[in-house]
């Protein structure tokens, strides 16, 4: 019994660690969904301010070359990322729930950012992107993996938010 309990504890720890440090991708014939989660020791307001200030993204986020426009519900933004620096994605901000959830996307996919305050000053940040559609099988092989980019995005956000938080304390 003790061996089983130890095994379950180890597997739970590994599962939690994997969710907090590594991105995961689920592929189907007509879609692909990548997600990453990380714990951030900062107030949700600090994280939210970073996520909703488009012009500041390239300063703290090494995965973003440029982000133009206003991050406000219904507005259009233009994103250039390190995954494909020759392409600018034209996206629409579809949903904003202050300090909780943000959604932007285009006709091929949608990216969802969520903040969940676990305890005061401890937030779980999750980023999930699902891309796909009927034509997805024709171009899926040309789309690079998002895993490393998502992990770097989450790491950059954590680092910057925690620096700002520590300066406030």
20-35 pLDDT per residue, tens: 559 999 999 999 999 9
Q: What is the CATH number of the domain that holds 152?
A: 3.30.530.20
The Cα 95–Cα 123 span in angstroms is: 20
Cβ proximity of 42 and 161 under 8 Å:
yes
Q: How many domains does the chain have?
A: 1
In a domain, 72, yes or no: yes
In a domain, 1, yes or no: no
Tell me: pLDDT of 152 over 50: yes
The Cα 104–Cα 106 span in angstroms is: 7
Return the pLDDT at 3.
43
Task: Give the range of the structural domain holding residue 121, as residue numbers without chain letter.
Answer: 39-168
pTM of the model: 0.85
Residue 169's pLDDT band (boundaries 50, 70, 90)?
Answer: confident
Task: State the DSSP code for 159.
Answer: H
In a domain, 124, yes or no: yes
For 116-125, b where at least 16 C-beta lie within 10 A, e where not — what string? Answer: eeeeeeebeb
Return the pLDDT at 14.
37
Query: Between residues 69 and 169, which one has the greater pLDDT?
Result: 69
Return the pLDDT at 21.
58
The Cα 32–Cα 146 span in angstroms is: 10
């Amino acid at each position: 019994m003790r061996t089983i309990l130890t095994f379950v504890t180890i597997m739970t720890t590994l599962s939690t660690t994997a969710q907090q440090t590594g991105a995961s991708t689920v592929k189907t014939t007509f879609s692909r969904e990548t997600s990453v989660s990380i714990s951030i020791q900062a107030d949700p307001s600090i994280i939210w301010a970073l996520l909703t200030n488009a012009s500041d993204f390239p300063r703290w986020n090494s995965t973003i070359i440029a982000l133009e426009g206003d991050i406000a519900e219904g507005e259009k933004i233009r994103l250039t990322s390190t995954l494909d620096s020759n392409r600018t994605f034209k996206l629409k901000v579809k949903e904003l729930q202050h300090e909780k959830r943000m959604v932007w996307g285009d006709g091929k996919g949608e990216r969802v950012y969520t903040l969940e305050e676990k305890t005061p000053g401890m937030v779980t940040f999750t980023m999930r992107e699902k891309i796909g559609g009927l034509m997805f099988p024709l171009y899926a092989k040309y789309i690079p993996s998002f895993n490393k980019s998502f992990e770097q995005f989450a790491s950059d956000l954590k680092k910057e938010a925690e620096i700002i938080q520590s300066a406030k304390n």
